[in-house]
Amino acid sequence: MNEMDFSIIIPVFNQEKYIKRCIESALEQNFDGNFEIIAIDDGSKDNSAKILEEFKDSKLKTYRNKNSGVSYSRNFGLQKAQGKYIVFLDADDYLEKDALKNFKAKFNNEPDIILAPFYVLREHKNDIKLCHPLNIKLYNFENLNIDNTEGNILDTNPELCTKAYKKDFLIENNIYFPNFKLAEDLPFFYKTIICAKTINMIEKPVYFYRKGHKETIRKDQHDAIFEIIGVISEGEKIIKKYKNFQKIKKAYTKNTIKICLYWFKKIKTLKGKKIFYNFCLKHIKPLKPCPKLLFKFYKGIFISNLVDILKNNY
């Protein structure tokens, strides 16, 4: 039997609006090798499970579990996966038709991770934006890692779905998803980046990532704020275990400020903003960011607050 090149893992929860397009994009890959699609329905209450059942293709393997969260579903998918490389796909996103073909082109030195550009579908603005994982002018496209980039590899997007991961690499380093239901890809991102010996990049985009269709964190979701705080704290524990942390501290600090600002903008209540702001200060100040980075943080907080005031979100 020929080796399975890829396993595409798709956690599904109440995505009846998007799941058909998602599965079709996986099945219609312009790829001559072997691949499988593992869809894990996480106890959906809408028609997601029914839509999955309508597909009759041997490449698609569907599982239905009780609702346990996206981390559980992805870990479940990893256990079932037979592919040499893992591609994660969210049920509200979809793949470019040559995604697997482009990833496979970088198999030559069997990298632990393959990064790729991706499209952001900004539904709130009705446009499409092309994003690159790194400033491609700064690095070669092969043999990157956290050391030879002086930590700047952390500047790539933390979303796991725009990458391919060597399955053996994940297993050998015991890399799985922690039990978080929000922003769960951040600890996974840090663990993969610090463990990877070889990271390759490809030039062509592989993924369509939807943005602007999900709700921000509002007054009835204070648990979500503490969930994010927990995720960021867990990520810090992982990164500080890295043996050369002091050498990458500047890059990590820059990355941390970017992540804190990203989540601060999603919080739309005054009480929630205060809670998260106080956490951010306690989290960032011990890293001793340079004045320029600290100014960027305060400026971002000010602008976010001003925008919310003008929109009467308080």
Q: pLDDT digit string (tens) for 82-91? A: 999 999 999 9
The half-sphere exposure of 175 on its side-chain side, counting CA atoms within 13 A, is 28
Adjacent-strand bridge partners of 6? 35, 85
pLDDT digits (tens, 9 = 90+) for 23-70: 999 999 999 999 999 999 999 999 999 999 999 999 999 999 999 889
What pLDDT score was predicted for residue 271? 87
- What's the pLDDT score for residue 122? 79
Alpha-carbon distances, residue 234 vs 16, 172, 200 (angstroms): 32, 21, 26
Q: Is the pTM of this model over 0.85?
A: yes
Contact 210, 123 (CB under 8 A): yes
Q: Cα(144)–Cα(163) distance, rounded to whole angstroms?
A: 14
Distance CA 142, CA 238 (A): 25
Segment holding 289, helix H or strand E: none
> Which pLDDT does position 181 carry in this prediction?
77
Q: Say what the pLDDT of residue 232 is.
A: 94
**Is 135 strand, coil or helix?**
coil
- Regions of the chain where pLDDT drops below 50: 1
Distance CA 89, CA 274 (A): 34
Tokens of 55: 């597909």
Look at residue 137 in the predicted model and tell me its pLDDT: 66
How many angstroms separate the CA atoms of 7 and 241, rounded? 30
